Structure 1
């Protein structure tokens, strides 16, 4: 799986971390060529280092969003990171490369509980302390 800037996570977070929840969702639509509109989705994850219990934020951008579904928008707890299926590797013909969703809670990696969408690429935008002072 090709996630741009994934090395930002390893550079900033030393050790194992766990995903706690999605704390921010930003959806933007931009006019691209010939009046085609392309959506981008920025998700900010609250993660915690296991060894030190320090909280961090990881912001990830998903490009050319399609079929975005969000349920229970009041909270987005995660039992792990989002599940990303590479459609090309699975032999599925699609204009989107990835199918992204959280786990339904049943562990089958197919269903979702809170969020689901398709996208063409994924990029890590930033990794920083959760309570960073500016």
Structure 2
């Protein structure tokens, strides 16, 4: 039993020697090994940014394709948009325009008064990605 304990102590001895070697290397070469702290900060920053996208995901889903939003998703959409989503899903002309493939052009074509909240959502979502093409959408 004592022999096993000594082997463990020897392993800790290597860790201590490695720590001394790293400190010596830092002093002699001027290299800072505090990158772990910087990586932790970077990881936290990414997590914060992606958590923001999770919050707006339902609105991004509506923006990317208002025709595929399920009834359950419509119920979870902001109340101000629910009727507009139902109306737009039943408009075959707008569905055809959407299927042409130019998302921003589609939102330029929808009626400003009838789909006001969907257009506002489109402006907000598209601005997340910094598109300069949005200006004519107003």
Normalized against structure 1, the TM-score is what?
0.23
Which protein has the bigger strand share? Answer: 1
| More contact order relative to length (CA 8 Å, sep ≥ 6) | 1
The structure with more radius of gyration: 2
TM-score by length of 2: 0.23
- More helix by proportion, 1 or 2? 2
